[in-house]
Amino acid sequence: MALITMREALNQAMKEEMRRDPSVFLLGEEVGQYQGAYKITQGMVQEFGEWRVRDTPIAEEAIAGIAVGAAFVGMRPIAEMMTFNFSLLALDQIVNHAAKYRYMSGGQIRCPMVMRGPSGAAAQVAAQHSQAFESWFVHIPGLVVVMPSTPKDAKGLLKSAIRDDNPVIFMENEVLYNLKGEVPEEEFTIPLGLADVKRAGQDVTIVAWSRSTQFALQAAELLAKDGIEAEVVDPRTLRPLDEDLIFDSVRKTNRCVVVEEGWRYAGFGAEIADRVQRECFDSLDAPVIRVTAADVPMPYSRMLEKAFLPQPEKVVAAVHEVLYR
């Protein structure tokens, strides 16, 4: 095992897949000579050249369109969004082309592409650059949506995403880029669509993904001091969702809290809450509670930004509520 950051894990995943498969290439704003806005693509243009690491203009619709077209003819593009806040400019290419053509062609046309980049809040980048859009993309049939929370998951899942024959929306979190974790040094992948138990427990199930997993794990540490053992389940892939692992955990703990960085209204956590309450109704000793961001645009103030997010203390309060303590 090697102790590396998520930034390094993502970089390793792309380099390894580009060495393995000459049809894989990278495109996006500043991915080449500048080494990436967040230095995820460091060293890649030097190793693979400008033909396979392509700097683009500031034109997200063009980036997505080129990636879709290349995927249709057998390439495996990795399209970097400098931030998923900018992906809104490319929704037609993503939703009406990448996600639809395999269905519309009766399986004759595949779209093996990855769109990756940071999503969610960072640090005082305010309303237009702090949005969590997973609930938008997970709503679309034909897309795979992945949100890793650890360096190991980031590397293993990105390698699987690049090899997948479907369009994959791979959403990272800028705050997690410096997060360190143990990652196998040998070749490995993590299958898409499999959740993971990040912490075992028997008193309550906390479902969380991406940065919210870190909030959930911090909350679990605080709860343990009160003798409450929380099980933290990270879906890792939101679509397709590994609901069986979530159900197994809830049937064991009899309680469920869902934590998400996105807004409450129509957030993906509502989908999980619905499924748990339908499939595990007889096992639940309390209603499922959701802990979300505030239902307002992200403020610029550091203190208000902290109040906006689903902090560990809010998760602890929700757990006490489902435990009736």
Compute the mean pLDDT over every residue in the chain, rounded to the nearest whole number.
96
Average pLDDT over residues 130-141: 94
The pLDDT > 90 percentage for the chain reads 92
In a 3-state reduction of DSSP, which class is residue 254?
Answer: coil
Average pLDDT over residues 51-61: 96
pLDDT one-digit tens code per residue, 286-313: 999 999 999 999 888 889 989 989 999 9
Query: Phi/psi of residue 239, each to 5°?
Result: -140, 115
Confidence (pLDDT) at 259: 98
Question: What pTM does this model have?
Answer: 0.96
Confidence (pLDDT) at 124: 79
Measured distance CA(210)–CA(173) in Å, rounded: 7
DSSP H stretches of helix in the chain: 6-20, 44-48, 60-72, 91, 101-104, 134-137, 151-163, 211-224, 243-253, 268-279, 302-308, 312-322
Confidence (pLDDT) at 325: 85
pLDDT one-digit tens code per residue, 168-177: 999 999 999 9
Domain 196-322: assigned CATH number: 3.40.50.920
Confidence (pLDDT) at 260: 97
Using 50, 70 and 90 to split pLDDT, how confident is the model at 121?
confident
Average pLDDT over residues 261-288: 97
Confidence (pLDDT) at 99: 98
Residues annotated catalytic, as ranges: 60, 129
Measured distance CA(218)–CA(199) in Å, rounded: 11
pLDDT one-digit tens code per residue, 197-233: 999 999 999 999 999 999 999 999 999 999 999 999 9
CATH class belonging to 2-183 = alpha beta
Same fold, 2-183 and 196-322: yes
Average pLDDT over residues 42-70: 96
Confidence (pLDDT) at 299: 84
Using 50, 70 and 90 to split pLDDT, how confident is the model at 255?
very high
Residue extents of the structural domains in the chain = 2-183, 196-322
